[in-house]
Amino acid sequence: MKLLLLFVFVGLSCAQYNTNFRAGRTSMVHLFEWRWVDIAAECERYLGPNGFGGIQVSPPNENIIVSNPWRPWYERYQPVSYKLCSRSGTEAQFRDMVTRCNNVGVYIYVDAIINHMCGSGGGAGTHSTCGSYFNAGTKEFSGVPYSSLDFNDNKCYTSNGEIQNYGDVNQVRNCRLVGLLDLALEKDYVRGKIAAFLNNLISIGVAGFRLDAAKHMWPGDISNIISRLSNLNTQWFPSGTRPLIFQEVIDLGGEAISASEYYGNGRVTEFKYGAKLGNVVRKNWGEGWGFMPSNRALVFVDNHDNQRGHGAGGASILTFWESRLYKIGVAFMLAHPYGVTRVMSSYRWSRNFVNGKDVNDWIGPPSNSDGSTKNMVIFRNTVDGQAFTNWWDNGGNQIAFGRGNRGFIVFNNESWNMDATLNTGLPAGTYCDVISGQKEGTRCTGVQVTVSSTGSARFTISSSAEDPFIAIHVNAKL
Ligand code: QV4
Ligand code: CA
C-alpha cells in the first residue's frame, strides 16, 4: 500500500515535465509562423513517418494587427483576446490540424502569451485578427473581456511603467515588458480567463504549453494557473495525463531572477545550451557548461527570437544562415542525451545590416521550410535512454561519441580530411550513414560503414563536405 502511494506521488510530481510524446519519440520541432492547414499536411506526410514527437506552434489566439507598413511576425506576441483566429488560420483549421496531427502521433504544443496583452501604443479599434474591439489606451479588451482593473500598473513603480532594471524582481514581474500591457495574474478573474483559454486548447487535443515571458510572471501565479488546468483529452492520451509545461525564462546568469525558481512549475527553456553549443561548434572549446538538470530542461540550437537578434544568446548562436555549422549543431544536439530537444523550422528573410544590427528583423512570413534533420530525429528516438559512451576526439575538432550499443556519431570540424578507426560500441555489421543517405529496404543510399566484431569501424570524412559528419544506428543496419 505504502509502495503504491509512493508511486502515485512520484507519478503526479513528474507530470508537467513529461512531453507525453508517443512511445519511441523524443523531439519536437518549432513550426514558426506556419499555417494550420500546412502543419496538418506536414504531420501526415513527413513528421509522423519521420518520428517527430511534437510541434511548437505559433500563438493561435487573436492578436493586434500591426502595420509597419507590413505586418511583422511579432504582432502575434500582442494578444487581443483568446479567440482562436490568427494569420495561421481559423479555429476550424486549428481543430482539424490538432486532430490530424494527434492521429499520426505528432502532438501540438501551444505558445501561450499570458503575461500581457498588446502594447500600450496599440491604439483603439478592431484592427485585430478576429475583429474584436479593444482600446490599448483605456486597457479595454472586449473579446475577453478585460478592463483596466485587470492590469498591473498600480504595482509598478518605475517612472514610465516599463521594466528599467532587470536586477529588480518587482519591476521585471509587475512592470511592462517593452510597453506590453501587463496582466494582474494574482487576480482570480484573470487567472480564470487564462485557465479557460488553456483548457479550451486542451479540450481540442493540445498536449502542452510554452509559457511566453515566464520570467515576467511570479512563479506562484503560474503555479495557480497550472493547478486549474484539465487533464489531456482522453481521445488521444491516457486518463490523468497532465499537460507539458515549458517556461520561457532566459537565464544566462547575472540577473536577479533565476531559472530554478520555475522548476516547480515545469520545464524551462535552457538558453545557455544554444549559446555554449554555438561556441563549441565555432571551436571556442573548453568553457564550463553549467546547465540546469537534464530532466528540467528544454533545449534548442536557436529560437525565433535569437535567430534574428531578439532575446538571448548573442553572436555565438548558430542559425540556418550558416548552414554547415548549423547542421553540425543540430546533429550534435539530437545525438547528445541532454534535455528535451526542439529543432527549428522558420523562414528566410532578406537581412539588412545597419551599424551591425539587422533592421529587417521584424519581417513576417510566408515561409519556406528547411528541414535537414529528419534522420537525426530518428537517431535520437533509436538511442533514447542509452548512455553517452565511447567519447573520442583528436585533441581538436574531430569528435565522436556513442549512445550505448545503439548509435554512434562522428564529426570532422577541422580544415583537413579525417581518417580514423574508432570504437563504436555497436554490434558487428554494415551500417548505413543516415546523414549522406538512408536505409531503404535492404540498400543504403549513402555512405556505408562496416563495424568489426570488436565494435571498431573506419571513418573517412572530407573537410570540404557540406555535412561533415556521419551517424549510424542499429535501425539503419543493413
Ligand atoms: C515599443 C518600444 C518600447 C516602448 C513601447 C511602447 O520599443 O520601448 O515601451 O513601444 O508601446 C514589439 C516591438 C517593440 C515595441 C513593442 C510594443 O519590437 O519595439 O515596443 O512591440 O509595441 C516579441 C519581440 C518584441 C516585440 C514583442 C511584442 O521580440 O520585439 O515588441 O514580441 O510584439 C526578454 C524577455 C523574454 C522575451 C525576449 C524577447 O524576458 O520574455 O525579451 N521573449 C518572449 C518572446 C518574444 C516576444 C515576447 C517575449 C513578448 O519569445 O518573441 O517579444 O511576448 O528577454
Ligand atoms: Ca508581468
How are beta strands 208-211 and 107-112 bridged, if at all? Answer: parallel
Q: How far is the CA of 173 from the centre of ligand 2 (A)?
A: 4
If you compute the radius of gyration of the chain from its CA atoms, what whole number of angstroms results? 23
Residue 162 alpha carbon, nearest atom of ligand 1: 9
Starting from the CA of residue 169, give the closest ligand: 2
Closest residue by Cα to atom 26, ligand 1, is 74
Closest residue by Cα to atom 41, ligand 1, is 213
CA angle 17, 23, 29 (to 5 degrees): 65
Average pLDDT over residues 399-403: 95
Q: What is the pLDDT of residues 251-292, one digit of tens each?
A: 998 899 999 999 999 999 999 988 888 878 776 644 457 788
Amino acid at 148: S
- At 207 the pLDDT is 98
Q: How far is the CA of 217 from the centre of ligand 2 (A)?
A: 5
Q: How far is the CA of 173 from the centre of ligand 1 (A)?
A: 14
What average pLDDT does the chain have? Answer: 91
- At 4 the pLDDT is 44
Alpha-carbon torsion, ordered 110, 113, 119, 123, to 10 deg: 60
The beta strands (E) that lie in 271-387 are given as: 297-299, 340-345, 353-354, 357-358
Starting from the CA of residue 63, give the closest ligand: 1
Q: How far is the CA of 113 from the centre of ligand 2 (A)?
A: 11
* Cα→Cα distances 279→176, 233, 283, 318, 413, Å: 33, 41, 6, 9, 13
Q: What is the pLDDT of residues 417-463, one digit of tens each?
A: 999 999 999 999 999 999 999 999 999 999 999 999 999 999 999 99
Residue 213 alpha carbon, nearest atom of ligand 1: 41
Closest residue by Cα to atom 47, ligand 1, is 77
- Start-end of H helices in 342-452: 374-383
Closest residue by Cα to atom 6, ligand 1, is 179
Amino acid at 119: G
Q: Which residues form the pocket of ligand 1, taking CB atoms under 6 Å from any ligand atom?
A: 74-75, 77-78, 113, 119-121, 162, 177-180, 212-213, 215, 248, 250, 305, 310-311
Q: What is the pLDDT of residues 226-259, one digit of tens each?
A: 999 999 999 999 999 999 999 999 999 889 999 9
Residue 160 alpha carbon, nearest atom of ligand 1: 9
What whole-number distance in Å separates Cα of residue 151 and Cα of residue 374? 44
Q: How far is the CA of 380 from the centre of ligand 2 (A)?
A: 37
What whole-number distance in Å separates Cα of residue 434 and Cα of residue 379? 8
pLDDT band at 12 (very low <50, low <70, confident <90, very high): very low
Best mutation site among 77, 158, 178 for ligand 1 pocket (most ligand atoms within 8 Å of CB): 178
Reply yes or no on whether the pLDDT at 7 is more than 60: no
Q: Are the C-beta atoms of residues 141 and 82 closer than 8 Å to each other? A: no
pLDDT band at 371 (very low <50, low <70, confident <90, very high): very low
Q: Which residues are catalytic?
A: 212, 248
* Cα→Cα distances 432→193, 389, 449, Å: 52, 20, 6
Best mutation site among 32, 68, 77 for ligand 1 pocket (most ligand atoms within 8 Å of CB): 77
Smallest CA-to-CA distance from 247 within 199, 224, 272, 213 is with: 213
Reply yes or no on whether the pLDDT at 367 is more than 80: no
Percent of the chain with pLDDT over 70: 94
Beta bridge partners of 332: none
- At 2 the pLDDT is 43
What whole-number distance in Å separates Cα of residue 226 and Cα of residue 262? 12
Reply yes or no on whether the pLDDT at 319 is more than 80: yes
Q: What is the DSSP letter of 43?
A: I
Q: What is the pLDDT of residues 57-96, one digit of tens each?
A: 999 999 999 987 788 999 999 999 999 999 999 999 999 9
What whole-number distance in Å separates Cα of residue 472 and Cα of residue 433? 5
Closest residue by Cα to atom 8, ligand 1, is 178
Best mutation site among 32, 65, 70, 74 for ligand 1 pocket (most ligand atoms within 8 Å of CB): 74
Beta bridge partners of 297: 268
Residue 113 alpha carbon, nearest atom of ligand 1: 54
Enumerate helices (H) and strands (E) in the chain, giving the number of each: 9, 25
Q: Are the C-beta atoms of residues 19 and 206 closer than 8 Å to each other? A: no
**Residue holding cell 545557455?**
272
Average pLDDT over residues 378-391: 93
- At 284 the pLDDT is 61
Listing DSSP states for 69-118 in one string gives SSPBGGGGGSBS-S-S-BTTB-HHHHHHHHHHHHHTT-EEEEEE--SEEE
Residue 121 alpha carbon, nearest atom of ligand 1: 11
Helix or strand (DSSP H, E) at 429: strand 429-432
Q: Which three cell numbers stand for residue 277?
A: 553549443
- At 370 the pLDDT is 46
Residue 305 alpha carbon, nearest atom of ligand 1: 52
What whole-number distance in Å separates Cα of residue 216 and Cα of residue 235? 34
Q: What is the pLDDT of residues 35-45, one digit of tens each?
A: 999 999 999 99
Starting from the CA of residue 217, give the closest ligand: 2
Closest residue by Cα to atom 16, ligand 1, is 178
Q: How far is the CA of 220 from the centre of ligand 2 (A)?
A: 12
How are beta strands 267-269 and 244-247 bridged, if at all? Answer: parallel
- Class of residue 208 by CB neighbours under 10 A (exposed 0-12, middle 13-18, buried 19+): buried
Q: How far is the CA of 429 from the centre of ligand 1 (A)?
A: 53
Q: What is the DSSP letter of 257?
A: S
pLDDT band at 413 (very low <50, low <70, confident <90, very high): very high
Closest residue by Cα to atom 23, ligand 1, is 74
Neighbours of 288 (CB within 10 A): 6
Task: Read off φ and ψ for residue 341, nearest 5 degrees.
Answer: -100, 140
Distance, first Cα to last Cα, the chain = 49
Starting from the CA of residue 136, give the closest ligand: 1
How are beta strands 357-358 and 353-354 bridged, if at all? Answer: antiparallel
- At 45 the pLDDT is 93
Q: Are the C-beta atoms of residues 410 and 469 closer than 8 Å to each other? A: yes
Domains of the chain by start residue, with CATH: 16-377 (3.20.20.80), 379-476 (2.60.40.1180)
Smallest CA-to-CA distance from 116 within 248, 296, 19 is with: 248
Q: Which three cell numbers stand for residue 199?
A: 483548457
CB-side neighbour CA atoms (13 Å) of 217: 31
pTM attached to this predicted model = 0.84
Q: What is the pLDDT of residues 148-204, one digit of tens each?
A: 999 998 999 999 999 999 999 999 999 999 999 999 999 999 999 999 999 999 999
What whole-number distance in Å separates Cα of residue 205 and Cα of residue 91? 13
188: CB partners within 8 A, 6+ apart = none
Starting from the CA of residue 118, give the closest ligand: 1
- At 283 the pLDDT is 65
Buried b / exposed e along 292-315 (16+ C-beta atoms within 10 A)? beeebbbbbbbbbbbbbbebbbee
- At 293 the pLDDT is 87
Smallest CA-to-CA distance from 473 within 436, 433, 444 is with: 433
